[in-house]
Amino acid sequence: MPAGRPLQLSVVVPTFNERGNVATLVRRLDAALAGIAWEVIFVDDNSPDGTTDAVRELARTDERVRCIRRIGRRGLSGACIEGMLASSAPCAAVIDGDLQHDETQLAKMLGLIETGSADLVIGSRYIDGGSADSFDQKRAGFSRFATTLAQQVLRVRVADPMSGFFMIRRDRFEQLAPQLSTQGFKILLDVVATARGTLKIVEVPYTFGSRMHGESKLDSMVALDFLGLILAKLTNDIVSLRFLLFALVGSLGLIVHFVVLFAGLEAFVLPFAEAQGIAAFCAMTSNFLLNNFLTYRDQRLKGVRILQGLILFYLVCSVGLLANVGVAFSVYDNEPIWWLAGAAGALMGVVWNYAMSGLFVWRK
Ligand code: GDD
Ligand code: MN
């Protein structure tokens, strides 16, 4: 890029184990964006295959290439958000690092934004001229189902809200960014749902290609994140995905508690206090492990930090239990309705545990 020429476009590329693809992608961008002042920002979540090294190797001789390396965090959406926030160009695009998206559409997409025809341009598989033929039947079915669900439930009027390929005016993105979820895969759906019809959206068709190197990171956890995102958007962001998962894990903990309590009393004939204590420990431990696995899987504790975290979690939950009982008592004092008092206590407990776990156990 000639010095002094204002930057037009930042291309953000989230990567996890894409070492074999980055050089090809930069070569293709170079061809597709001739005449445009662009840069590419790779956001790598500390890939074990050394993707960062491959990107830095390119960046040493090509100043258009930038590298953000994140440690201790995982997640496609979060990586895209961070990449876009690191951009200084008026437009930012997101494109996968595995060459499955069609970079030759980028110039056209930029044109649509620069002429004011769009604030957001989506690379779409599900309009005339686009396709996702490389999907196997199962994946195609899931994709269709998720697309319909998003369209119906969130009233998103976009043919391909699940696309991972899009370009947006950076000022508009920046307005939305504080409300976006960093968890999950569905950053575009989040952007469209959060904007609530305030963005001028245009879709351009493209063909979703096959992966050359490496493998897809989309798994069943990603499906869970997706459902959580839908719920969060439906409740106007009052309930976050993380909180929902935390509460879900808490409810499972209740089941664990009762099963262990029952076994302690019936099978091992323990005194009640002992059985209750053991049950509480089992429930807290399984809650901790499940939260580490699910709710906080993007910042999962590993090695010795698991043990540290577990001990802190016990402490947090113990105080949470006091808060729970305290609130339940005072509600019951005013209004002796057992289920109301119980529910108020439980809500207090889960909110406390959630807030304190975020502060002390999985802090970041
Ligand atoms: N930084 C970072 N962190 N990047 C990630 C992570 C992560 O945790 N997980 C995946 N990526 C990167 C991959 O390296 C790749 O460049 C891109 O995100 C897409 O990931 P894939 O694992 O290849 O996803 P996919 O091909 O199954 O899904 C794609 O198609 C979907 C449409 O069906 C993605 O573009 C989705 O966003 C899209 O919805
Ligand atoms: Mn892919």
Digit-coded pLDDT (tens) for 309-349: 999 999 999 999 898 888 888 988 888 888 888 888 888 88
- Of the candidates 270, 250, 256, 262, which has an alpha carbon nearest to the alpha carbon of residue 321? 250
- State the amino acid at position 251 in one-letter form: S
Q: Model confidence at 2, in pLDDT bands (50, 70, 90)?
A: low
Q: Could you tell me if 73 and 297 are in contact, meaning their C-beta atoms sit under 8 angstroms apart? A: no
Pairing assessment for the beta strands 91-94 and 9-15 based on DSSP bridges: parallel
Looking at the CA of 164, which ligand is closest? Answer: 1
Query: Residues with Cβ < 8 Å from 64, sequence gap 6 or more?
Result: 1, 38, 39, 40
Buried b (16+ CB within 10 A) or exposed e, 56-83: bebbeeeebbbbbbbeeebbbbbbbbbb
Q: How far apart are CA 153 and CA 42, in angstroms?
A: 33
Looking at the CA of 18, which ligand is closest? Answer: 1
Query: What is the predicted pLDDT for the residue at 3?
Result: 60
Ligand 1 nearest atom to the CA of residue 298, by list position: 8
Q: Model confidence at 233, in pLDDT bands (50, 70, 90)?
A: confident
Query: What is the predicted pLDDT for the residue at 1?
Result: 52
| 29-51 per-position pLDDT tens digit | 999 999 999 999 999 999 999 99
Q: How far apart are CA 149 and CA 233, in angstroms?
A: 13
Q: Could you tell me if 165 and 94 are in contact, meaning their C-beta atoms sit under 8 angstroms apart? A: yes
**Closest Cα to atom 38 of ligand 1:** 164
Average of per-residue pLDDT across 305-310: 94
CA 193 vs CA 110, 151, 198, 339, 363: distances in Å: 22, 10, 10, 36, 28
CA atoms within 13 A on the CB side of 324: 16
Instruction: Specify the DSSP class assigned to residue 38.
Output: E
Q: Is 61 helix (H, G, I), strand (E, B) or coil?
A: helix
Q: Model confidence at 74, in pLDDT bands (50, 70, 90)?
A: confident
Average of per-residue pLDDT across 49-67: 96
pLDDT(15) > 70:
yes
**Closest Cα to atom 17 of ligand 1:** 96
- Of the candidates 276, 344, 353, which has an alpha carbon nearest to the alpha carbon of residue 314? 353
Pairing assessment for the beta strands 38-44 and 9-15 based on DSSP bridges: parallel
Looking at the CA of 136, which ligand is closest? Answer: 1
Q: Is the CB of 164 under 6 A from ligand 1?
A: yes
Q: Who has greater pLDDT, 262 or 72?
A: 262
Residue with tokens 């323990």: 270
**Paired tokens of 242:** 């993380």
Instruction: List, as ranges, residues with CB under 5 A of the ion ligand 2.
Output: 98, 100, 216
Average of per-residue pLDDT across 120-144: 86
Query: What is the predicted pLDDT for the residue at 123?
Result: 95
Q: Model confidence at 239, in pLDDT bands (50, 70, 90)?
A: confident
pLDDT(95) > 60:
yes
Ligand 1 nearest atom to the CA of residue 101, by list position: 35
Ligand 1 nearest atom to the CA of residue 143, by list position: 33
